[in-house]
């Protein structure tokens, strides 16, 4: 059982960071160039909560891949691990925290006279991407929480 969980975590770890970054960037792959040219710039683009979201995505996607593999192999899945519910809730809360942080940074110190739409739009975009990634991780987690039941054979 430990070997199966480790395989799921390794697969999730390989798939989650590029998937989360692609979802967050939403620009068709230029995120990879930004990531290579400067990790700080990529994190700034999608918000600081991306880092803990990647950690959660690795675990949740690993579990989801493990459940998909078990289903494809015709194996019955075990009960959802105890860490899954807090991970789903944390993904949602991190998304909301990123949204609030982006909105605060966008509106902090603004006056009606000095309103410039460029920086404000950038901050609001970061805020919304943070929620998008958080909800995406949570949705996969909710799906992975549901046990995979095997269809009953006709001979039983």
Q: What CA–CA distance (Å, rounded) separates 104 from 120? A: 10
Which DSSP helix (H) or strand (E) runs through 30?
Answer: helix 30-37
At a CB cut-off of 8 Å and minimum separation 6, what does 117 contact?
none
Q: What is the pLDDT of residue 2?
A: 47
pTM of the model: 0.63
Tell me, what's the pLDDT at 51?
79
What does the pLDDT profile of the chain (156 residues) look like in tens digits? 444 456 566 666 666 666 666 666 665 556 555 555 655 555 555 567 777 888 888 888 888 888 888 888 888 777 888 888 888 999 989 888 888 888 887 777 777 777 777 777 877 887 888 888 889 999 998 888 876 665 565 555
The structural domains of the chain, with segments of one domain joined by +, span: 2-145
pLDDT of residue 38: 58
For the segment 64-108, what is each residue's pLDDT rounded down to a tens digit? 888 888 888 888 777 888 888 888 999 989 888 888 888 887 777
pLDDT score at 108? 76
Side-chain-facing half-sphere of 26: CA atoms under 13 Å: 10
Q: For residue 2, count CB atoms less than 10 angstroms from its CB and return exposed for 0-12, middle for 13-18, buried for 19 or more.
A: exposed
């Amino acid at each position: 059982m430990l070997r199966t969980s480790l395989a799921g975590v390794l697969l999730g770890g390989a798939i989650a960071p590029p998937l989360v970054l692609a979802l967050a960037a939403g620009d068709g792959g230029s995120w990879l160039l930004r990531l290579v040219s400067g990790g700080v710039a990529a994190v700034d683009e999608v918000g600081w909560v991306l880092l803990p979201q990647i950690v959660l995505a690795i675990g949740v996607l690993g579990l989801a891949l493990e459940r998909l593999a078990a289903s494809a192999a015709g194996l019955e899945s075990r009960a959802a691990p105890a860490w899954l519910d807090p991970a789903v809730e944390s993904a949602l809360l991190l998304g909301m925290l990123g949204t609030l942080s982006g909105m605060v940074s966008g509106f902090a110190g603004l006056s009606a006279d000095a309103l410039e739409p460029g920086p404000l739009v950038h901050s609001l975009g970061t805020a919304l991407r943070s929620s998008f990634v958080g909800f995406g991780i949570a949705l996969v987690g909710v799906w992975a929480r549901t046990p995979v039941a095997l269809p009953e054979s006709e001979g039983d």
